Amino acid sequence: MCLAALALDHSRRFPLVLAANRDEFFERSTARLGWWTRPGSDTEILSGRDLSAGGTWFGLTAAGRLGLLTNIRDPSRQDPQAPTRGAIIPDWLTTTASPDRFWVRTALTGHNGFNLIAADFARGDCWWLSSARASPTRLEGGVFALSNGHLDEPWPKVLRLKQQLSDAVLQATATATAAPGADALAQTLLNALTDTTLARDEELPSTGVSQELERMLSPAFIRTPDGRYGTRCSTVLITERMGRHLITQVYERSYPAGPGLALMRRATLKDWPPRYQTEPVLASDHRSRVSLGSVVSPVSDAALDEHDSGTDASAASPRVIQPRVRSLLKPARPRAPKG
């Protein structure tokens, strides 16, 4: 990927939304979105694939892992003999290592500069890993964006896509729940990803390439004058809460080098991502129920709860219950006070 924006637990109705573009040379052979396994692994990966160097730029697994990678643009530190960065995503998706252990191993492999969004929703975690930083950074709920610099670096296209995604999610959340949610939101985001607006020269980043090239790479959707390089595909992932279930749609639109129709692929995953595991707690059946409306979703909290049925409210016998999980990410552990 070369541009991506991500909303994590920003909306009750749409707890996970991602919009991203992959820019690459058109001569590089690519397989479109689909399920596949890498040699030596039984883990199925849903992603597109780079058939030239191997690997991928974005992918997920049924077990709840997700990975997204962007290159860091720094010609002064580019090693043509470095291993392909496309292997990092399959490595993350097929390991059981925690992000910190995975990072130690990956940092020693000699890749050129990269950013990695690494989520393990079964553990309730999402991390940003960067070859320019010494350790991973855990992401909390919110909206994030990145391109070929650091996370949330204020490049014009990064700021623009971040705002467009945030506005689109909030607008889709505010519509009636019966209205078509994911498809309408996906179309809005796909339109945003085809934005060809050039940044003004005074807004261009300085990454070590010429100003002419910086200008050429400044839109969300890129096409070089010679037609050899540009945006190859757009990917949108939307998780929608529907009653007690999460339904995730993955859309991939692939673009030709020249005139022609863009091709669309779509995958649907039910009950994905999985809810992270929580410790059971001891509680009494003698309790009152309070319904709280959500300010960011037209679905009330009560409608998202697992409703009890056939219980005697007067009984006071303790029982073990599983805590209700209403977010994709575990709450951050509070730091111990100093002193």
CA 44 to chain centre: 18
Q: How far apart are CA 33 and CA 59, in angstroms?
A: 9
Which one of 3.40.50.920, 3.30.1330.60, 3.60.60.10, 3.40.50.1820 gives the CATH number of domain 3-270?
Answer: 3.60.60.10
In the chain, where the domains are located:
3-270
SS3 of residue 301 by DSSP: helix
Phi then psi dihedrals of residue 304, to 5 deg: -95, -10
Q: Which of 30 and 311 is assigned the larger pLDDT?
A: 30
Is pLDDT at 302 greater than 80 in this prediction?
no
Task: Using pLDDT thresholds of 50, 70 and 90, give the confidence band for residue 100.
Answer: confident
In this structure, of 8-12, 50-54, 157-161, 197-201, the range with the lowest mean pLDDT score is 50-54
Q: What is the 8-class DSSP label of residue 164?
A: H
- Cα–Cα separations (whole angstroms), residue 164 to 8, 22, 69: 15, 18, 21
Distance (Å, rounded) from C-alpha 223 to C-alpha 52? 21
CA distance 48 to 99: 23
Place of tokens 């058939």: 51
pLDDT of 235-253, one tens digit each? 999 999 998 899 999 999 9
Average pLDDT over residues 110-114: 93
Q: Is 309 exposed, middle or buried (0-12, 13-18, 19+ CB in 10 A)?
A: exposed
State the pTM of this model.
0.85
Look at residue 301 and tell me whether its pLDDT is greater than 80: no
